Structure 1
Amino acid sequence: MADETSTPVFQIQRLYLKDLSLEQPNSPQILLEQAQPQVDINLGLGAEPIGDGMFEVAVTATVTTKVADKVLFLVEAKQAGIFEIRNIPDDQLQPIIAIACPNIIYPYLRAIISDVCTRAGFPPVVLAEMNFQAMYEAQQAQAGNGAAAAIN
């Protein structure tokens, strides 16, 4: 039988909506506009240790929709999870936090954004699928290039 102190552990302790905001600063006048709105979507990822072997990982989406130069609506949502991650080699911990955890959280965030837009009286904004592995690899490559530039 494997020793429990060395068995790798990766468990979801809880998934939750940490923050949600909807603003319609130019309503009701802007709702009469017939122009096609511009949609800008920004994603953010954050993680922090919250205890021994426990991490909170959060994915944030900010959706800003404008007609001309006026905001039609702005939605910001932060979906988070608490993960127990133990007995994982240090070189594998960061990829788990930056790839596996967001892959679990992100579908919930997509549903929330779509639902809030619909409930606010607008067509749903459906966030595109995300490849968190590609994002992580790009960040690592960029960090590597920055370190190489600092050495030169």
Structure 2
Amino acid sequence: MAEQDQSPVFQLQRMYLKDLSLEQPNSPQILLEQAQPQVDIQLGMAAEAIADGVFEASVTATVTTKVGDRTMFLIEAKQAGIFEIRNFPEDQVQAILGVVCPQTIYPYLRAIVSDVCTRAGFPPILLAEVNFQAMFEAQQQAQAGNGAN
């Protein structure tokens, strides 16, 4: 019975939209523009413990589209999930929070950004697939490099 208590647990408890913002500061005039807008997409990830063995992980997307120096629209969306992660070594917990949790959350964030664009009257923006494993490894290497200096 005690062995079952020590078996690794990874479970999604809840998925939710934590924050959403849409701004169209130059509408309706900018909607008449024929120029192709420039699109800038920034992604961010965060994770924190909220109870013993329970974590909130989130992925944030900031999508800015501009025509020249004027903003067409700005979307900020944060999708989050509550995950139960127990009985894993600490380095594996960090990898789960940095790779598996964002991979689970990201498809929902992609759908929200696309839907908000469409509902705002613009063509959908489809966020590209993200290699969270590569991002996590790069972050780990950067932290190791900073620790060595």
Into which bin does the TM-score normalised by the smaller protein fall?
over 0.9
Does 1:12 find its partner at 2:12? yes
Partner of 2:133: 133
Give CA-to-partner distance per residue, 1:3-37, whole Å, 9 cap, x none. Answer: 23211000000000001100000111111111100
Over the aligned positions, Cα root-mean-square deviation in angstroms equals 1.0
Does 1:100 find its partner at 2:109? no
Partner amino acid for 1:56?
E
1:1-152 to structure 2, matched below 5 A, reads: 3-148=3-148, 150=149
Paired with 1:147 and 1:18, the residues of 2 have a C-alpha distance of: 33
Paired with 1:3 and 1:98, the residues of 2 have a C-alpha distance of: 27
Unaligned runs of 5+ in 2: none
Paired with 1:32 and 1:98, the residues of 2 have a C-alpha distance of: 42
Paired with 1:52 and 1:143, the residues of 2 have a C-alpha distance of: 25
More displaced stretch, 123-132 vs 3-12: 3-12
Number of corresponding residues: 149
Paired with 1:91 and 1:132, the residues of 2 have a C-alpha distance of: 16
Paired with 1:83 and 1:17, the residues of 2 have a C-alpha distance of: 15
User: TM-score, normalization: structure 1?
Assistant: 0.95
User: TM-score, normalization: structure 2?
Assistant: 0.97
Give me the identity figure in percent. Answer: 71
Paired with 1:57 and 1:147, the residues of 2 have a C-alpha distance of: 25
Paired with 1:27 and 1:91, the residues of 2 have a C-alpha distance of: 48
